[in-house]
Structure 1
Amino acid sequence: MDARRKQNGNKVHVLNKASSYSNYRNLGKSQLGGVIFGCKTASIDECLNIQLFGLPGNHMAYVKNIEPGLPLFLFNYSTRRLHGIFEAASPGTLNINPYAWTADGSNRTRYPAQVQIRVRLHCQSVDEEQFKAIIHDNYYSSKHFWFELDHAQTDGLLSLLSSVVIAPSTFVPKLTKERRIPLTAQRRELENEGVDTAVTNVDFARFSSSNRSLDKLNVDSNRSFETSSEWRTEVESEKDLIYMKLKELALNRKRLDQSSSVDNNVVVDGENLEQEGLLQVTDDHSGIAHLKKKVEEFNTFKPEQSQKMEYLQQKLVEAEAAIKWLKERYMILESRSSSYVTTGHETARETFTELNFDINEFMYLIGGYDGTQSLSSLDCYSPSLDIVKSLQPMSSARSYAAVAKLNGEIYVFGGGNGSLCYNTVEAYNPAKNTWNSRPSLNRLMGSLAGATVNDKVFALGGGNGHESFSEVEMLDLDAGRWIPTQSMRHKRFALAAVEHNGAIYAAGGFDGKGYLKSVERLDPREHSWTKVASMTSPRSCHCLLVMNEKLYALGGYDGKEMVTSTEIYDPRVGSWTTGAAMNTKRGYAAAALLKKSLYIIGGVENTDNLADTIECYEEGQGWNLTNLKAVGHRCFASAVVF
C-alpha cells in the first residue's frame, strides 16, 4: 500500500521520521483543490451558526494555503457523513475565534487553525461509503483520511454533492455574502467552456425538467410547506447557481457535439461501405449476395441513426435555449446589483428628496426575499408611476416578519434570515427616514402576524421551525416590554391577521398537523378570543385586508398548492363568500389597500417560480393583472400604507 501511494504523483503522502503518516499531504497552494474539516454532532451547529471551521494547530501547515473561494467540506465524525458545499470566506489563519467550540467560552479553543466560511450550494449530506472511493488515496486507515484534497478529488466531491442539491425551502435560507467572480472573468471562463456569451433571450419552457432545480421552492403536498425540518438550509446566490449551470450545460453540449460527430461518421462509413461494395461487384454470386446483405443492413441501420440524430439535434436546441435563458437571467441579476431606482421603462439615480410622492399614492415595501438573498431594504413604491425608491434599510436582512403601525411609525418584528429567527423589533420614522430599536419579543419567531388596537401592537402566532405558536404578545411602551396576553384558540403558523373596528381577526395558518380554515376574533375589552365563521377552504401564507368594511383573504397555500381564490367576510352578516379569483397563484405575497384598490405583489407562485407580477382589485371589477414591473421578484415581504 505504501509503495502504491508513493507512486501516485501529486497524491504522495509524506511519511514522518517515526514511520507513521503525517497530518497532511504537503500539497502546494497551486495543488490544493479543497479541504475537508471535521466536526461532531455536538459541534456542527456551532460551526454553521458562527460560520467558522477549525482544525488542531498542527493542520495550519496547509490551512494557511486556503484562500477565499476555495471549496470546503465538513465531515461529521459522529455520523460519518460529509456536508457541503461550502467555500472559504477568508484566508486560513490562526485563532479567528480563539474561544470557539469550548463549553462556556472561557477556555482557549483546541482548533485554532481556522477559516471563515459561507455556503456555496446546500446539498444533502452523503455517507462515507458514497464519497470514500473519490478520496481513497487519502485514507491511511479504514476510518481516517487526510483532509487536503487535490483538484481531481475536489471536482469529484463537488459533482457528488451537486447531484443531491436541496432547493430553498419556504423558510428562506440563511444567505451569506456572495462569492462574486468578476463578470469579465466569468465570461472568459464560460467562453473557454464553449458557451456563446453573445446569445439573446429565448423561451426557456422547453428546457428539460431535470434542470428545473434553479430557484425551485419546496412545495410538496406530502411535506409541511411551512415547517420543513430543513431550517438550517443554506443556498448559494442565484448568480452562482446560474454560473454553475452554464458550465454544466456547456460540458453537456460538448458531449452531444462529440456524440453527433460519431454518429455522422457511422452513417458516412455506411455510405462508403455501400459504395465500396458496388465497386467490388463481380460475377461471383456469393459476392453479390454478400453485397445485398450489407445493403439491407445499412437500410435497416440508417433510419435508426436518423432518429438518433434528430434526438440529439433536439437536445442541442434545448441546451441552447437553456444557455440563452440563463445568460439573460444572469445579466438581469447583474444589473440589479446597482442602486438604481427602477421604473417600467427606465432607470434613474434619484435621491429620496428628488422623488416627491403624494403620500396617498405610495406604499412601503419591507424586507423579504428576491430569489437571491434576504433583504434589509425598505422601499417606497408608487403603482401609479411604477417607481421604486430605496429608503433607509433596516439594521438586518429580515423575511417573513410581521408589521404594524403605531404613533406614525412602522414596527417590524420577528421574522429572520434563513434558519436564523429573530425576536428583535425595529421602528421606522418616515419623517426622519430613520430606524430605531424597540423592546424585543419574548421569543424567537417567524411567519407571525401583527396588528394594532388601541395604541397597542400585538404579535400573534408564528413558529420557530420546530413548533407552531398560539401565544400572543402585546407591546407596552410605558413598561418598555412585550407582555404575554390571551393566547389564540389554535396554534397558527403563517397565519394572516388584521384589525377591524377595534377587534383583531386571525385567520388560517398551520397548527403543526394541518392547514386551518378557522377564524377567531379578539376584542381587547373582552380579553378572550371567540370563534367566528370559518373560511370555505384552508389557507396559510395568505394575505388578509379590510376594504369597505369587509375582510378579504387572498391566495395562500391550501395544503396541496398555492391558490388564486379570494374569500370575503362581512362581519355584519357573519359569513364568508367567494370572491373573484386572482390571475396568478401566489402565497407569501405582500398586499395593501391603496386608495380604493387592493394590490397584491410578488410572492411564491409555484414549485418553480417566484412571482414578479402585481395584481389590482377594485370592487365590482375583479382582479386585473397589471404590467407593473418595477418591484420584480419579491416574496416573504410586507406592505404598509399610511
Structure 2
Amino acid sequence: MASIVKYRNLSKNQLGGVIFGCTNNTTSECITKKLFGLPAQHFSYVKNIEPGLPLFLFNYSDRKLYGIYEAVSSGKMYIDSYGWTSDGSDRTRYPAQVQIRVRRECQALSETLFKPIIFDNYYSQNHFLFELDHVQASKLISKLTSLAFAPSVYTPQNPPKLLSAKQMFPLSIQRKESQAPERPYFTDDFANSDDPFGALCNPDDSLCLNGDNPLMEASLANKNAEPEENDLIYMNLKELARHSPHSAAAVTGKSEEVTYMEDVVLEHETCENGMSTLGNRNNERPYHSLDSYTTISHLHREMEELKAFKQEQTCKIGTLEKKLAEAELEIQRLGKVCMRFESVPETSMTVGAATGNETPVESPDLNESIFLVGGYDGVSWSSALHSFSPVNDVLKTLKPMFSVRSYASVAKLNKELYVFGGGDGTLLYDTVESYNPVNNQWTSRPSLNRKKGHLASAAIHGNIFAIGGGNGVECFSDVEMFDSDVGRWISTRSMLQKRFALAAVELNGALYAVGGYDGIDYLMSAERFDPREHSWTRIRSMNTRRGCHSLVAMNEKLYVVGGFDGIDMVPSVEIYDPRVGTWMIGEPMKQSRGYSAAAVLKESIYVIGGVRANEVVLDTVERYKEGEGWETIQSRSVGQRTFASAIVFHTD
C-alpha cells in the first residue's frame, strides 16, 4: 500500500531550514551543480526556501546528517529539468529544486545525535518530516558547528596580531615578546526498503550523496588512524604461538605446530624487510600436520572476535564521551536559562520561556530596550535576537535571524532593523536581512556587493551606508549605500583611508568614521562624510590608536569607547565635539574591553559584553551618564557575549 506523504505545512516565516533526503549515488552531480532537489509533491514547502536558509542532507544509507549547506536561490521547479537522470534524456523526478553552497564543513551527525533535536518531526521509527522550524534549525547548526572541521586561516596583508583562540575568535589578542605593536588577523568561516519519501521514490531513483562528498569523506578520515589489520593479527599470533597449549617445548622441545607458528611469524618479519622466503620455506618444510592448520584457523577466528570486541568497546566509549560532552553543554545552557528566568518578573514571562517557542507574547517596549544581534557567548556563534531592558534587567528572546551572524553591522531604516555582512566564525557573508518589531519577522533583503565583516554602518536621509571592513585578504575603504527606492546596494564615494574593525555613527546629518586598521597599523585618524557635498574630509585625529572599539553619539558629541590599540585592550574613552573640532580625554571605563556592543538609551551610554586582553568573554554591562561617570551594572540576564551588534529602536 502506498504511504501518504506528510508535511508540517510551515509558513515561509516559520520555516527555519530544510532537510533533503539522499543516499550514496549522485553526490558528484549534487556538488558540481550545487543543486538539491525533491519530488514535485515536496514543492509545497520547497517554494518557501529563500537565499540564506540553512539546508541539511540526510544520507539514508548510513543514516547520518550532513551540513551545513545554505540556499543561494529561492526554491523553484525545474531549475535543471534533466538532473539526476542516467543520460539526461528523461525529465527529472526531482523538480522541486534549490541552488546551494557549503556554508560550513562539519562532521556528520549520527541519527542518535540529531534525532533528539528533531524528535517532533518523527512520525515512525525511521521516517521524519523534512521541514524545520527556527529552533530546530538553530540547534542543528549549533550541534554541527561544534563538530566543524578546522577552517583554513586567511590573513590580510600585514595583519594586526589578533590571533585565533581554537577558532573561537576571529580576532583575539596576543602580545609579542618584543612588545612591538601587534596587528589583527582574523579567521574566519535510500539504499534499503525504508523510503523517506514513501510511495514517491524507490531505492534506485533516490536523490543522494555518494563517496565523492568531501564532507562525508572527511568525517571518516580518522579511521586511517587505526593500525593495519595484518599488523594486529601478526602481533597476536606471535603472542598466542608463544603460549599455545599445544606447545610441548617445556618438556620435549618445540612441537610442530609451535615451530610452524614461529615460521609464520618469521616469514612475516622477513617479508616486512622486503625479502620473501616463502619458496625456500616450502622447500625446507614440505609437510605440516592438519592440526597446525586447525590451530591457525582457530587462532585467526579468535583474533577476529577480539578485533570485533575492541571495535565495539571503542564505539561505546566514543558514544559515552559524546554524551558526556553534550550533557556538559546542556548543563551550561540550562544554567544560563535559569539565570535569565530568575531575573525576569512573572508578569513579563513569555510563551517562548515556557514552551520553547521563540516568539514572545508581547513585544518589547521599543523606548526602553536595546536590541542585541548575534555574537558569540564563549561556546557557540549565535543567530539570536534579544531585546535588553537595562532598567529591569530583562532579556527577551525574539525571532532569530536566518543565519548565524557575528561581527556584522546594524542600522535602522523605515521602522525596520537591517543587519548585514559579518560571518559565522569561518565564513563571511554578503547577505542582508531586516527585522520588523511589529510582527516579529525577518525578511531577506538585497545582498551587499561583496562579502565583508568587521564593517560599520549608519543611516542618513533614508539610506543605509555600509562602511569599510574586510574580507580576510584585504581591508576596505569602500562604502556601499542601500537605496530603498532602487532596492539595491550602490557603490558610493570611498573613504580616504582603508579601515577594518572601525566604528561609525551619524550626527546632525553627517557620517563619522573613526579608527580601525588599514592593513599596516591601527589608526588614530577619523573622517567625516557630508552627503550634501558627497565627499569625505579628515577631522582631527584621536589621541589613541584603536580598532574593534565602539562609537556612539550623545548630546551632540561623539564618544569613542575601548578597543584594541595594537598591544592591549584599553578602557579609555575620547569625546569629540564637532563644534570645537577637538578630541578630549574622557573618564575611562571600569574594565578594558573590545568587540563590545554599545548603544545610547535615555541619555546614557551602555557598553555590553566584549573581550578583555586575556581572551575572556565578558558578561558585564557598564553605563555612563554625564555628570555621574561610569558604573558597572550587575546584570544577571545578558550573559557572556562578544562580536554582537547593538541598536536602540526608538518609535519616533
Normalising by structure 2, we get a TM-score of: 0.52
Paired position in structure 1 for 2:188: 231
Does residue 609 of structure 1 match 2:616?
A: yes
Per the TM alignment, residue 607 of structure 1 is displaced from its structure 2 partner at its CA by 2.2
Superposition deviation, residue 578 in structure 1: 0.5
What is aligned with 1:501?
508
Q: 1:89 aligns with which of 93, 100, 109?
A: 109
Q: In 2, are the aligned partners of 1:505 and 1:520 still within 8 Å (CA)?
A: yes
1:423 corresponds in structure 2 to 430
Partner of 1:183: none
What amino acid maps onto 1:499 in structure 2?
Answer: E
> Is 1:522 equivalent to 2:542 in the alignment?
no
CA 1:124–1:406: 2 relative to 1, 3 Å = closer
- SS of aligned partner of 1:334: helix
1:368 aligns with 375
Which one of the candidate residues 546, 550, 559 is aligned to 2:553?
546
Per-residue deviation, residues 555-595 of structure 1 (Å, max 9, x unmatched): 01101111100000010110001001101111111111110
Matched, 1:632 2:639: yes
2-side partners of 1:345 and 1:231: how far apart?
36
CA distance in 1, matches of 2:383, 2:538: 36
Residue 609 to residue 225, structure 1, CA distance change in 2 (3 Å):
farther
Q: CA separation of 1:397/1:578 partners in 2, compared to 1, >3 Å: closer, same or farther? A: same
Deviations 1:138-172 (A, max 9, x none): xxxxxxxxxxxxxxxxxxxxxxxxxxx95235327
- The alpha-carbon distance between structure 1 residues 421 and 566, as it changes in their structure 2 partners (threshold 3 A), is same
**Quick check: 1:480 aligned with 2:487?**
yes
Amino acid at match of 1:564: P
Deviation of 1:333 (Å)? 1.5
AA at the equivalent of 2:388: Y
State the structure with bigger RCO (CA 8 A, min sep 6), 1 or 2.
2
Change (3 A) 1:124 1:368: closer
Which secondary structure does the structure 2 equivalent of 1:333 belong to? helix
Compute the RMSD of aligned alpha carbons: 3.9
Residue 117 to residue 623, structure 1, CA distance change in 2 (3 Å): closer
Q: Which runs of 5+ in 1 are unaligned?
A: 1-42, 44-49, 54-59, 70-84, 93-115, 126-164, 173-216, 233-325
SS in 1 for 2:367: helix
CA spacing shift, 1:331–1:442, aligned 2, 3 Å = closer
In structure 1, the partner of 2:350 is 350
Q: Structure 1's 65 and 220: CA in aligned 2 closer, same or farther, altered over 3 A? A: farther
Cα separation, 2, equivalents of 1:389 and 1:503: 33
- Deviation, 1:606, is 2.3
Q: 1:440 to 1:566 in 2, by over 3 A?
A: same
The answer to whether the 8 A contact 1:459-1:474 is kept is yes
Distance in 1 of aligned mates of 2:541 and 2:574? 11
Superposition pairs for residues 211-360 of structure 1, below 5 Å?
217-220=172-175, 226-228=184-186, 230-231=187-188, 333-335=332-334, 342=341, 344=343, 349-351=349-351, 354-355=361-362, 357-360=364-367
Distance 1:118 1:587, change over 3 A: closer
- Inter-partner Cα distance in structure 2 for 1:481 and 1:379: 27
TM-score (norm 1): 0.53
Residue 391 of structure 1, CA deviation? 1.0
2:409 to 396, 402, 409: 402
2-structure distance, mates of 1:373, 1:384? 28
Structure 2 residue aligned with 1:556, among 537, 556, 563? Answer: 563
Given the alignment, which residue of 529, 539, 555 partners 1:532? 539
Cα gap change, 1:395 to 1:337, in 2 (>3 Å) = farther
> Residue 457 in 1 paired to residue 468 in 2?
no
State the distance in 1 between where 2:451 and 2:546 align: 23
Give the SS at the match of 1:418.
coil
Alignment map for 1:6-155 (pairs within 5 Å): 87-90=107-110, 120=147
Residue pair 2:499, 2:517 contacting (<8 A) in 1 also: yes
| Preserved contact between residue 504 and residue 521 of structure 1 (Cα < 8 Å) | yes
CA contact (8 A) 2:183 2:520 kept: no
Task: Say whether the 8 Å CA contact 1:341–1:390 is kept in structure 2.
Answer: no
Measure how far apart 1:439 and its partner are: 1.3
Distance 2:440 2:62 in 1: 45
Change over 3 Å in CA distance of 1:223–1:119 after alignment to 2: farther
Q: Secondary structure at the match of 1:403?
A: strand
- Mind listing any 5+ residue stretches in structure 2 that lack a counterpart? 1-31, 33-53, 67-104, 113-142, 153-163, 190-324, 352-358
> Relative to structure 1, is the Cα distance of residues 90 and 621 closer, same or farther in structure 2, using a 3 angstrom cutoff?
same
Distance 1:432 1:354, change over 3 A: closer
CA contact 1:423–1:441 (8 Å) conserved in 2: yes
**Which amino acid letter does the alignment assign opposite residue 563 of structure 2?**
G
Q: CA deviation at 1:64?
A: 7.4
- Alpha-carbon distance between aligned partners in 1 of 2:398 and 2:450, rounded to the nearest angstrom: 29
Amino acid in the other structure paired with 1:416? G
State the one-letter code of the partner of 1:231: D
Pick one of 588, 607, 620 that aligns with 2:595.
588
The aligned amino acid for 1:374 is W
Distance 1:565 1:337, change over 3 A: closer
> Could you tell me how far 1:385 is from its partner in structure 2?
0.5
Structure 1 pair 425/331, CA: closer, same or farther in 2 (3 Å)?
closer
Deviates more, 1:533-542 or 1:600-609: 600-609
Corresponding residue number in structure 1 for 2:98: none
Cα deviation for residue 123 of structure 1 reads 6.5
* Distance (Å, rounded) in 1 between the aligned partners of 2:451 and 2:536: 23
Tell me the SS of whatever aligns to 1:417: coil
Cα deviation per residue 1:336-394 (whole Å; 9 max; x = unaligned)?
57699545377885146655654321111111111111111111110010000011111
The one-letter code matched in structure 1 to 2:185 is T
Alpha-carbon distance between aligned partners in 1 of 2:339 and 2:471, rounded to the nearest angstrom: 35
Q: Matches of 2:544 and 2:366 in 1, distance apart? A: 36
Q: Secondary structure at the match of 2:333?
A: helix
Sequence identity (%): 47
Distance 1:599 1:170 in 2: 23
Structure 2: which amino acid aligns with 1:227?
A: Y
Q: How many residues get paired?
A: 377
CA contact (8 A) 1:557 1:587 kept: yes
- Would you say 1:576 and 2:567 are equivalent positions? no
